[in-house]
Amino acid sequence: MFRYIVRRLLQMVLTFFGATFLLYALVFANQKDPIQALVGERPVTESQRIALTQRYHLDEGFFMQYWYYMKGLLTGDFGTSLTGRKIVDMMADAWPVTLRLALIAIVIAATFSVTVGVYSALKRGGLFDNVSLVITLVLLAMPIVVIAPLFQLIFGIQLGWFPPTATRDATVWQLLLPAIVLACIVIAPEMRVTRTSVVENLRADYVRTARAKGLTRMRVIWVHVLRNSLIPVVTLIGVDLGGLMAGAIVTEHVFNIPGVGFNLARAIRTEDGPLVVGFVSILVILFLFINLLVDLLYAALDPRIRYE
């Protein structure tokens, strides 16, 4: 187990440096005017050009610029946004609300998809199974750019069931509607994977053996079948984190939540390169550690798995 963790950490380090290098290159490399690339279409005075050149080491080569950026990143200095604010301060304000939103969305998606997926597998071919299939197809066909404003209009404004917007210090109730919207982008695949996995395990030999020993149907399903069926679902939940972070850009923008997605959307719209690179770099780190956690959960779900 220890050697496996060390090997995975080394892979994560290589992935992190590769991802941040590509990101930095896409934003800043091969620009005819790197200063104009930093500030977008806004006019720049000569004094501002001198200041930006010194701040971002634009008088040196691209690899040296990347080195200075990584040096600051590894020491906790993410630089300064074009608005003049320290990026680390903006992260401190944005990350708490985004993490709460993502956590609520993951809980909603996992609870709904596993429950409905298991019941659909038990009633496969029936009315409930067919209705759940139609729901998944509808969710897969509707992008989040449609779901978010639609849910806000219907459930937040017209019906008034939920608050239509949320603040930085939003409660769970205020984040519930945007969390449901965010969960919609991952519920459909998780539900279908759960159903397929449960159907396959219900046909396994160990299920017939457990029933022959006299175990109740509910114990066989919820203890033996579900535990083995959750392995691909847990994998999918870890991968879906990237989809949730991408969906948060739209969701937070629509519901006016000042989180990571809201700041990223604003940075992209205003062409704030340093802010985009800083926030996405942290998203890369978060995604890598979530995937490591998912790998380690395999052994807990299936004792047959050993990391040698």
* 65, 31 Cβ separation under 8 angstroms: no
Predicted confidence at residue 76, as pLDDT, reads: 79
Angle at 172 between CA 148 and CA 100, to 5 degrees: 80
Predicted confidence at residue 32, as pLDDT, reads: 61
Closest CA to 300 of 234, 241, 219: 234
For residue 265, the surrounding DSSP H or E stretch is helix 260-269
The helix/strand/coil state of 24 is helix
Between the alpha carbon of residue 76 and those of residues 11, 86, 87, 102, 230, the distances in Å are 22, 11, 10, 24, 37
pLDDT digits (tens, 9 = 90+) for 282-294: 888 888 887 777 7
What is the chain's length? 308
Tokens in use for 281?
Answer: 């770099």
Taking the C-alpha atoms of residue 148 and residue 145, their distance in angstroms, rounded to an integer, is 6
Closest CA to 229 of 261, 255, 264, 191: 191
Q: What is the pTM of this model?
A: 0.78
Radius of gyration of the chain (CA): 23
Q: Which residues of the chain have pLDDT under 70?
A: 1-2, 4, 29-44, 56, 58-59, 242, 298-308
Angle at 173 between CA 254 and CA 117, to 5 degrees: 85
- The pairs formed by 263-271 with CB atoms below 8 angstroms and a separation of 24 or more are 263/90, 263/94, 267/81, 270/40, 270/82, 271/37, 271/39, 271/40, 271/41
* 295, 286 Cβ separation under 8 angstroms: no
HEC states along 208-263? HHHHHCCCCHHHHHHHHHHHHHHHHHHHHHHHHHHHHHHHHHHHHHHCCCCCHHHH
Taking the C-alpha atoms of residue 100 and residue 112, their distance in angstroms, rounded to an integer, is 18
Taking the C-alpha atoms of residue 233 and residue 214, their distance in angstroms, rounded to an integer, is 28
Q: Does domain 93-301 bear CATH number 1.10.3720.10?
A: yes
Predicted confidence at residue 42, as pLDDT, reads: 65
Taking the C-alpha atoms of residue 239 and residue 242, their distance in angstroms, rounded to an integer, is 6
User: In one letter, which amino acid is 153?
Assistant: L
How many H helices and E strands in the chain?
13, 0
Q: Look-up: residue for tokens 């299920």? A: 207
Domain boundaries, the chain: 2-74, 93-301
